Amino acid sequence: MAEQFKRGDRVQWNFRGRPVNGKVRKRLVSRTEVAGQVVAASKKDPRYLVRSDATGKETARRPEKLTRL
């Protein structure tokens, strides 16, 4: 099972081959729209809404793609 995160946790993920640092904003467990994209999250396959420290933009990521800092 993938690691669990909570709001405010500092995490890192890759975007276009480069590391991005940010914070977890919310755990998504239902179908949601983020930045114009539909995110097919569910209780069995949750996603995390994360905000980039550099740009302030939000995106959704699977827990296995996030690394706790």
Residue 34 — φ and ψ, nearest 5°?
-130, 120
14-23, pLDDT tens digit by residue?
A: 999 999 999 9
Q: Is residue 2 part of a domain?
A: no
Average pLDDT of span 8-17:
96
Average pLDDT of span 9-14:
97
| Total Cβ atoms within 10 A of residue 34 | 17
Q: Is residue 59 part of a domain?
A: yes
Q: Is residue 1 part of a domain?
A: no
Q: Is residue 43 part of a domain?
A: yes
Is the CB of residue 50 less than 8 Å from the CB of residue 42?
Answer: no
52-64, pLDDT tens digit by residue?
A: 999 999 999 999 9
How far is the CA of 22 from the CAs of 16, 37, 40, 51, 55, in angstroms? 16, 19, 22, 5, 9
pLDDT higher than 70, residue 1: no
Instruction: Report the domain count for the chain.
Output: 1
- Rounded CA-CA distance 59/24 in Å is 10
